[in-house]
Amino acid sequence: EAGVAQSPRYKIIEKRQSVAFWCNPISGHATLYWYQQILGQGPKLLIQFQNNGVVDDSQLPKDRFSAERLKGVDSTLKIQPAKLEDSAVYLCASSLTGFSTDTQYFGPGTRLTVL
Amino acid sequence: KQEVTQIPAALSVPEGENLVLNCSFTDSAIYNLQWFRQDPGKGLTSLLLIQSSQREQTSGRLNASLDKSSGRSTLYIAASQPGDSATYLCAPEEGATNKLIFGTGTLLAVQP
């Protein structure tokens, strides 16, 4: 079974530039999550999709971050414009149903550096 | 707001030693609690999931316990090996939508 795929693996940009990350979840998984992990901290949920609908985006900075899940499969997370404090690893995860006790499977992450 | 604390932040032990990682959380109204492992440059891997009605779960050399009333969970690793070196994260689950609140993790180094 193929795992969660993410690209790019690394990205370096200057502040005020835009950047986009892509995630391909495990086939058949209804739920997709985007997390932000700042160095030295645990992952923080940014947004959770159930199929192509948003379940939770309470911690997504909507003035600069946006996310979409096309046709309930792949997802893109965009930052526009980027700030220095956005430097972090962005993790994508998927689960079969999104219900309690469901295992979340994580991708390798995209490391973003904002200069 | 749920706050999750993990102690110690870092731990170095010789191979073969038994060890305990601690996790505390402020809001006991959780559904479940999971323990994850994170290797450098890689994503997270789920190790154990303890349902709210359970008190512990075991998988191989790993044993996790949960005391919801006191807001505590422990991960016990028996006979540690160098391959156990990683960051260990605990994550209580809020609500019924699989929302995880992660702690800051414990960085474990097992010396051969």
Question: Which pLDDT tens digit goes with each residue over B59-68?
Answer: 999 999 999 9
Extract the residue ranges of chain B whose pLDDT is less than 70.
Answer: 96-97
Region label for B65, one of left (φ > 0), alpha (ψ between -120 and 50) or beta (otherwise) = beta
Single-letter code of the amino acid located at B2: Q
Residue A16 has a pLDDT of: 97
What's the CA gap between B88 and A70, in Å, rounded?
A: 33
Q: Cβ contact (<8 Å) for A98 and B98? A: yes
Residue B84 has a pLDDT of: 97
Residue B30 has a pLDDT of: 87
Q: Which residue pairs, CB below 8 angstroms and at least 24 apart, start in B55-64? A: B62/B35, B64/B33, B64/B35
Looking at chain B from residue 1 to 20, which residues have their Cβ under 8 Å from any Cβ of chain A? 4
With 0-12 / 13-18 / 19 or more C-beta atoms within 10 angstroms meaning exposed / middle / buried, residue A64 is middle
| Adjacent-strand bridge partners of B37 | B45, B88
* Sheet strands side by side (includes A5-7): A5-7, A19-24, A75-79, A65-69
What is the per-residue pLDDT across A65-103, written as a single tens digit (0 to 9) for each?
999 998 889 999 999 999 999 999 999 999 998 887 788
Strands B106-111 and B86-94 turn out to be antiparallel
| Average pLDDT in chain A | 94
- Chain B residue with minimum CA distance to A42: B104
> Could you give phi then psi for residue A12, rounded to 5 degrees?
-120, 125
**Chain A interface test: which of B3, B44, B93 (most A C-beta within 10 Å):** B44
- B65 contact partners, CB below 8 Å, separation of at least 6: B50, B55, B56, B73, B74, B76
Using a pLDDT cut of 70, give the percent of chain A over it: 99
Looking at chain B from residue 44 to 83, which residues have their Cβ under 8 Å from any Cβ of chain A? 44-46, 49, 51
Nearest to A47 by CA among A38, A39, A37, A36: A36
- Chain B residue with minimum CA distance to A107: B43
Tally the C-alpha atoms within 13 A of residue B77's C-alpha that lie toward its C-beta: 25
- Chain B residue with minimum CA distance to A102: B98
B98 lies within 8 A of chain A by CB: yes
Residue B29 has a pLDDT of: 86
What's the CA gap between B71 and A6, in Å, rounded?
A: 35
Single-letter code of the amino acid located at A99: F
Residue A72 has a pLDDT of: 83
Residue B44 has a pLDDT of: 93
- DSSP H helices, chain A, are none
Residue B1 has a pLDDT of: 83
CA A74, chain centre distance (Å): 11
Tokens of B106: 């414990």
